[in-house]
Amino acid sequence: MSDPARPGLHPAIRQSLRDARAGLIGRRSFLTRATALGLGAGGACSLLGLTAAPLAAQTAANAARRGGRLRIGMNLRPQKDPRRWDWPELANVCRGWLEYLAEYQPDGTLVPRLLESWEVSDDATRYTLQLRRGVRWNNGDPFTAADVAHNFARWCDGTVPGNSMAGRLNALRDPESRRIRPDAVEILDDHSLRLHLSAPDITLMVNAVDYPAAIVHPAFEGEDPVANPLGTGPYLPVWHEPGLGAQLVRNPEHQWWGAAGGAWLDEIAFVDLGADPSRWLAAMRAGEIDMLDETAPDFVAAFDALDLRRSETLTASTLCIRFNQRIAPYDNRALRRAAQLAVDNAVVLELGYGNRGAVAENHHVSPLHPEYAELPPPETDPARALVELRAEGQEDHLFELIAADESWQVASCDAVAAQLHDAGIAVRRRNLPAQEYLAGWAEFPFSATSWLMRPLGVQVLNLAYRSDAPWNESGFASEEFDSLLDQANRLADADERRLVMARLQAILQHEGVMIQPYWRRLFRHARPEVRGAGVHPMHELHLLRYWLAE
């Protein structure tokens, strides 16, 4: 077995390897840490005696067949500027022509895509990115380091409303202008550049694989990447209409860099049948679709009864039933804590998600995250809940819990409302069509939002609970929390980061920010001839790797 102290290995990777061999962290956690810091997937896997994911993918690619039309059942959203994407479906339909610097794999590794490799300094303040050679945009322009620099500048622009990438790249930004610092990006040559961070940040590469980080051409303007499909990928959109569907076809004018190992399909069709899973089941039975982007958990058994392949994975995706502290009386911590006391998260997992997951702890950091800190489970005491509300003079407050009309979210919120009612707390439920909910998801007083997995716990906290984060739907704001989060972002060693994370998780619990009942197991069903399309833990559709067997 390789020596973890060998020269050239990043110090944080050496420590992570020691932890993995001692059984202190899991395999996926080690692979995420190591590859995010620049170690190739093959090298990271070999340190644990594993077969590298890219090698397995290449083996599958050798058996792939070109041609065919794949029909995917997925709800579509109205498009907007990729850096403002706030739901994965927006990205998934564009993955045929918009690509990413790197890609997160189900085994936890980050593998290069438009990048060939990257290196991270020991103190995580310098990232050197090497671009893949031979890549061209579909208008014929060469793909260069200047294009990547342009995208970092776009991502860092905090003056753009809804740009969630800006808050993820604070170490590249000028706090006064809220834009990228002039000295943050150094172009070394046409195929390499160096990022100079003002403070250490170990989340940079995992943020660069998240779905709003699609690489766009410098000429891209406006809000709609479908209307202006400049990209490096092998497909082009023919049409796109939320509520109906979309169609992508192979671009015959574009020589795609990865043609030897992907883009097998001639055509990809998206079919949008709305939020009712029974319509998806009927469509699959009728032979109108070939696969789902995600199977609703309460319909897994029904799809299992058909002649389909099922893939599944436990993830750090979740449902957050949060109180909006910008709106009274949810600015009252005692009221929030009282509502939490009435709810047993295990009951919500059972009734709302069919026990197809794991119980969560009201702090949005998962045991799958490398820096997760184990804390005592949340207390449940329905009898005390009403006593606490009375002490605040809030015993007559009506909690109106709002959810999108997806079946598992409705069932989960019904389970929460039932427990509040049983505790003597006044509660009312309201479900909204998914599109209506998505239009106002950050503004509701008390509502439930689906959150996807991110590879690192600090990523989630930066996105959802930092005081000025665009996706901070709870309105939680704490200088102490922000300061601790800055500290956690600087710590490459996950063991050191876990000590800070324990304090961050405890703050979220203590402040009663949310009822977060469970971690989701995700499911996907597909016809037997659909290959390479297993469910992804971050709900990504890697369209360029799907193919149809005869």
Can you give 324-348 as a three-state secondary structure string? CCCCCCCCCHHHHHHHHHCCCHHHH
When pLDDT is cut at 50, 70 and 90, the band that residue 25 belongs to is: confident
Asked whether the predicted pLDDT for residue 284 surpasses 70, the reply is yes
The burial class, CB within 10 Å (0-12 / 13-18 / 19+), for 465 is: buried
List alpha helices for 208-271, DSSP H: none
CATH number of 314-521: 3.10.105.10
pLDDT score, position 458: 95
pLDDT in tens, 197-223: 999 999 999 999 999 999 999 999 878
* Rounded percentage of the chain residues whose pLDDT exceeds 70: 96
Topology alike, domains 235-307+524-548 and 314-521: no
The residues that bridge with 110 in the sheet, in sequence order, are 104
pLDDT score, position 125: 95
Asked whether the predicted pLDDT for residue 154 surpasses 80, the reply is yes
Q: Are 291 and 303 in contact (CB under 8 A)?
A: no
pLDDT score, position 55: 45
When pLDDT is cut at 50, 70 and 90, the band that residue 19 belongs to is: confident
> ∠ CA(339), CA(345), CA(347), 5° rounding?
110
pLDDT in tens, 465-481: 999 999 999 999 999 99
Asked whether the predicted pLDDT for residue 51 surpasses 70, the reply is no
pLDDT in tens, 356-405: 999 999 999 999 998 999 999 999 999 999 999 999 999 999 999 999 99
Asked whether the predicted pLDDT for residue 309 surpasses 90, the reply is yes
Taking residues 145-159, report their average pLDDT.
97
pLDDT in tens, 525-547: 999 999 999 999 999 999 999 99
pLDDT score, position 160: 95
Taking residues 432-448, report their average pLDDT.
92
Polymer length in residues for the chain: 550
- How far are the Cα atoms of 49, 94, 135 from residue 115, in angstroms, in the given order? 26, 19, 10
CA dihedral 241, 246, 252, 253 (to 10 degrees): 30
pLDDT score, position 59: 47
- Name the residue with higher pLDDT: 270 or 307: 270
Whether domain 235-307+524-548 has CATH 3.90.580.10: the reply is no
Taking residues 74-98, report their average pLDDT.
96
Q: Are 247 and 238 in contact (CB under 8 A)?
A: yes
Asked whether the predicted pLDDT for residue 435 surpasses 90, the reply is no
**What's the Rg (C-alpha) of the chain?**
23
pLDDT score, position 43: 82
pLDDT score, position 4: 42
- How far are the Cα atoms of 11, 390, 403, 447 from residue 429, in angstroms, in the given order? 51, 22, 8, 10
Q: Give CA–CA dist 440/404, Å, rounded.
A: 11
Taking residues 43-62, report their average pLDDT.
64
pLDDT score, position 196: 98
Asked whether the predicted pLDDT for residue 52 surpasses 90, the reply is no
The residues that bridge with 514 in the sheet, in sequence order, are 322
When pLDDT is cut at 50, 70 and 90, the band that residue 54 belongs to is: low
Least confident range of 3-17, 33-47, 89-103, 465-479: 3-17
Q: How would you classify residue 49: left for phi > 0, otherwise alpha for psi between -120 and 50, otherwise beta?
A: left
- Hey, CA dihedral for 208, 209, 214, 217, is it positive or negative? positive
pLDDT in tens, 223-260: 899 999 999 999 999 999 999 999 999 999 999 999 98
When pLDDT is cut at 50, 70 and 90, the band that residue 24 belongs to is: low
The candidate with the shortest Cα–Cα distance to 156, out of 87, 213, 219, is 213
Give the chain's mean pLDDT. Answer: 93
When pLDDT is cut at 50, 70 and 90, the band that residue 47 belongs to is: confident
When pLDDT is cut at 50, 70 and 90, the band that residue 5 belongs to is: very low
Domains of the chain, residue spans? 1-51, 235-307+524-548, 314-521
Q: Give CA–CA dist 524/295, Å, rounded.
A: 5
SS3 of 281, please? helix
Taking residues 92-118, report their average pLDDT.
96
- How far are the Cα atoms of 123, 216, 434, 451 from residue 319, in angstroms, in the given order? 35, 31, 15, 6
pLDDT score, position 549: 96
pLDDT in tens, 492-526: 888 899 999 999 999 999 999 999 999 999 999 99
Asked whether the predicted pLDDT for residue 41 surpasses 60, the reply is yes
* Rounded percentage of the chain residues whose pLDDT exceeds 90: 83
Taking residues 424-445, report their average pLDDT.
93
